Amino acid sequence: MAWDESGGNGTPGGKGPAPGEGYAVEISGVRKVMKPLEESVVAAHKIKDDWKTMAGEFALAATIDIEKPAKEMLSKWGFGMGRIAEHTDDILETLRQVLSAYIMADLLQIKNFSPTEDNMAKLPVGKHGLEVWEEGHRGKFDPAPKSLQEQWEEEPKPEKTPRVRRFGKDRVVDWDSDDNGVPAA
């Protein structure tokens, strides 16, 4: 991976990744999340809009006892899928913004970019923004908040170390033993 000498601020010759090399994993990861969501939101919109067509089929194929509850269920299902589709549309729009921010950070050779709202606002916009950026006027990008970083919890440590003994072919882990040195049952 090629690096520039600017300390990750994106100027030529600095320590940021060369264009096209820095955020390939993040860009790929965002695209992998977006593809199934886009397919799902299309299906959710279809169910939201087409539940009445499905309910119409019950009038021909079912008795009156089944028709009313089935139509009510399909109505609620259509409403719920419509709400899911609306929220998923919002999620997809945010993912598109994150994707474009990663691509812009990659092109500008910004090292350790985190697509927070503040950092995305610091990216240059338009021709004038790029000219100002190239002149060296740029904001300092904040690291990712701790809540967005992977947390590795330490494994709990037992209060006392177990003894491992073999009795024939079986292995026994002995946490507590009685006074005779025989494992507790």
pLDDT in tens, the chain (185 residues): 333 344 444 444 455 556 556 677 778 888 888 899 999 899 888 888 888 887 777 777 767 778 888 888 888 988 999 999 999 999 999 899 888 888 888 878 777 777 888 878 888 888 888 888 888 877 787 776 666 556 666 667 767 766 666 666 766 666 565 445 555 54
**Residue 136 lies inside a defined structural domain of this protein:** yes
Question: Which residues, listed in sequence order, are joined to residue 102 by a DSSP beta bridge?
Answer: none
The pLDDT assigned to 6 comes to: 44
**Residue 156 lies inside a defined structural domain of this protein:** no
pTM of the model: 0.56
Nearest Cα neighbor of 123 from 141, 135, 111 is 141
CA pair distance 160, 168, nearest whole angstrom: 25
- CB-based burial of residue 161 (10 Å sphere; 0-12 exposed, 13-18 middle, 19+ buried)? exposed
CA pair distance 90, 80, nearest whole angstrom: 16
The single-letter code of the amino acid at 74 is: L
Q: How far apart are the first and last CA of the chain?
A: 59
**Residue 157 lies inside a defined structural domain of this protein:** no
Per the structure, the complete domain to which residue 69 belongs is given by 24-145
**Residue 4 lies inside a defined structural domain of this protein:** no
**Residue 178 lies inside a defined structural domain of this protein:** no
The pLDDT assigned to 103 comes to: 84
The number of distinct structural domains making up the chain is 1
Which residue, chain included where needed, has tokens 């965002």? 30
